[in-house]
Amino acid sequence: MPELPEVHTTATGLQKVLPGLKIVDVWTDYNSSFYAGKDNIKDKKYFKKFRIQIIGKKVIGAGRRGKNVLIHLKDDFTILVHMKMTGHILYGTYRRVKSRKSIKSIKWDPVEPETLKDPFNRFIHFVITFSNGKCLALSDMRKFAKITLLKTSTIDESLDTKHLGPEPLEKNFTFEVFKKQLNKKPSGKIKTVLMDQSLVSGIGNIYSDEILWKTGIHPLKCVKNISNSNLKKIYETVKIILRKGIDFGGDSMSDYRNIHGEKGNFQHKHQAYRKTGEKCSKKNCEGIIVRIKVGGRSAHFCSTHQKI
Q: Which residues bind Zn ion (CB under 5 A)?
A: 280, 282, 285, 287, 302, 304-305
Interatomic CA distance for residues 210 and 208, integer angstroms = 5
C-alpha distance across the termini of the chain, in Å? 27
- Tell me whether residue 163 is exposed, middle or buried, using C-beta atoms within 10 angstroms of its C-beta: 0 to 12, 13 to 18, 19 or more: exposed
Q: Which is nearer to Zn ion, 252 or 306 (CB)?
A: 306
Task: Output the smallest distance, CB 221 to Zn ion, in A.
Answer: 15
Q: Which is nearer to Zn ion, 134 or 221 (CB)?
A: 221
Task: Output the smallest distance, CB 290 to Zn ion, in A.
Answer: 10
Interatomic CA distance for residues 128 and 136, integer angstroms = 5
Q: Which is nearer to Zn ion, 108 or 273 (CB)?
A: 273
- Tell me whether residue 104 is exposed, middle or buried, using C-beta atoms within 10 angstroms of its C-beta: 0 to 12, 13 to 18, 19 or more: exposed
Instruction: Determine how β-strand 146-151 pairs with β-strand 289-294.
Output: unpaired
Task: Output the smallest distance, CB 182 to Zn ion, in A.
Answer: 24
Dihedral sign for Cα 11, 14, 18, 23, please: negative
Q: Which is nearer to Zn ion, 100 or 283 (CB)?
A: 283
Task: Output the smallest distance, CB 215 to Zn ion, in A.
Answer: 12
Interatomic CA distance for residues 26 and 108, integer angstroms = 13
Interatomic CA distance for residues 165 and 178, integer angstroms = 10
Q: Which is nearer to Zn ion, 41 or 280 (CB)?
A: 280
Q: Got the DSSP string for 254-301?
A: SS---TTS---SGGGG-SSTT-TTSBP-STT---BEEEEEETTEEEEE
Task: Output the smallest distance, CB 278 to Zn ion, in A.
Answer: 11
Q: Which is nearer to Zn ion, 146 or 275 (CB)?
A: 275
Q: Which is nearer to Zn ion, 75 or 286 (CB)?
A: 286
Task: Output the smallest distance, CB 212 to Zn ion, in A.
Answer: 11
Interatomic CA distance for residues 143 and 190, integer angstroms = 30
Task: Output the smallest distance, CB 210 to Zn ion, in A.
Answer: 13
